[in-house]
Chain A
Amino acid sequence: MRFAFTALLALATTVALVFLALPLTALFLRVGPRELVSSLGGSTARDAILVSLKTNVIAEALIVAIGTPASYLLARRRFRGRSVVLTLVELPLVLPPAVGGIALLAAFGRTGLVGGRLHALGISLPFTQAAVVVAVMFVASPFYVRPAVAAFEAVDASVLDAARTLGAGPARVFARVALPLAAGGLGAGAAVAFARGLGEFGATIMFAGSLQGVTQTLPLAIYAEFERDFHVAIALGALLVVVSFAILLSIKLVPAWTRYALTSSFRSATSS
């Protein structure tokens, strides 16, 4: 009986693994390694890699810079409407990215809520690299903020109180005590957010458009090349798989992050 149960678990695991790994493996078998590398040498691939890197690094820096203090506040303070605020922060996780794209246009488009005013000042976001950064931030930031709130919540309040009793001001408590203690969770969250940002497609194509060397990120290039040169599309797809795998694996291998490896970093912030 015990054996049967273990066998059942093993079977389910195998099915899950094959189901998830088979398509990704097939991607690599479809194109030989040499062709894969040569397909990445073209200008479309090179430009897409550069655009993706640049926009994602900027977006990630902004997400961490703004998201960290925001998560600290959300974790440490109890206030009315906190559940609603946390839900708002999580919303982009479940929305189709296309909805994000339309919403961004409604807000920052030339005739949008804020965009209209910006346009009058001569600033226009759509079709620029800044628009790609905004789209990536919109879609990826919950992947950082959620685990960041959880990480700050996990910091023992009595430790923070002790620091305060010893005369540290609130900024000092945050920077010298809370931040180092939550660093593992913050790092893991930042890595997942970066991986999600690299894969961003829907909001970007709607809000930023697709132009080689300007707004065409890796996922957009894959979509465009799918119609022109299938091999380049596969090669770029394979590249994205490898990079994403490396990022997610790093979370499990970096000692400080392991405690927050994917499963636990997705733990939602307590809403009470």
Chain B
Amino acid sequence: MTFGLAAAKLTVLAAASLTGVLPQIDKAPRYSFAGSDQLAFQIQQGAPADVYAAASPKYPDQLYAQGLVFKPRVFATNELVLIIPRANDAGIHSVYDLRQSGVRLVIGAQGVPVGDYTRKALAALGLSSVLKNVVSEETDVKGVVAKVALGEADAGFVYRTDALAARRDVAAIKLPQQAQPTIAYELAVVRSTKHLKAARAFVTRVLGNPGRLALARAGFGLP
């Protein structure tokens, strides 16, 4: 339901990892940040939304195939990194140290993009056995960051941009290049939008210079 002036306001559903950067690009819209999968579900259920920005091509492509959004465009890329608390009591210096028994690893749940990327990367490294050290499967990337930043977990897999945003509390460890999954962020205008022009303008802004500048500053890669 929208009233009066608020009716002109754009509603953007965006992946949790975009929490910091999107309002810097455009602070006018109303943002709803959550797991990309949850947001896709909301759009399928007819939630009023104008733009959808996801942390993986999976859900935007799905919605596109269902005719719920216009053609998605890649606007940023990211990297998966391993984060550890600054104190690093568990003595973790590379992904291979995750094999030590007793390490408390936190990852994203299956079906959450960051969780799926994590499983893919571990499989590529032949490290799927470290999944036995997982103590919690979080429903979005911020949950992983919080548990490591608080020092409750010894390590977790998140996006580089999340590690950067939490650098006061966590240190990031790069993954070997061959294990790095391709992480592309896509955004699309929702077909049921009542503000098509404004929605298109928002997409243009994110893809254009203002967007590229802010995204690069936040640590995202650019397409």
Contact = CB atoms under 8 A, between A and B. Distances in A.
Interface in A188-228: 205, 208-212, 214-215, 223-224, 226-228
Contacts of B153: 127
Given A109-B152, A209-B138, A227 B111 contact: yes
A209 B136 contact: yes
A205 B106 CA distance: 13
Contacts of A270: none
Interface residues of A, number: 20
Contact residues on B (Cβ < 8 Å of other chain), bracket: 20 to 34
A105 interface: yes
Nearest to A223: B139
A209 B152 CA distance: 10
**Main SS at interface, chain A:** loop
A224 B135 contact: no
A228 B40 CA distance: 12
Nearest to A216: B137
Given A208-B136, A211-B134, 17 more contacts: A109-B150, A109-B152, A110-B152, A111-B152, A127-B104, A127-B152, A127-B153, A209-B136, A210-B137, A210-B138, A211-B136, A224-B109, A226-B38, A227-B37, A227-B38, A227-B109, A228-B110
19 contacts: A109-B152, A110-B151, A126-B152, A127-B136, A127-B153, A205-B139, A209-B106, A210-B136, A210-B139, A211-B134, A211-B135, A212-B137, A215-B136, A226-B38, A227-B38, A227-B41, A227-B139, A228-B109, A228-B111
6 A-B pairs closest in CB distance:
A209-B136, A127-B135, A228-B111, A227-B111, A227-B37, A111-B151
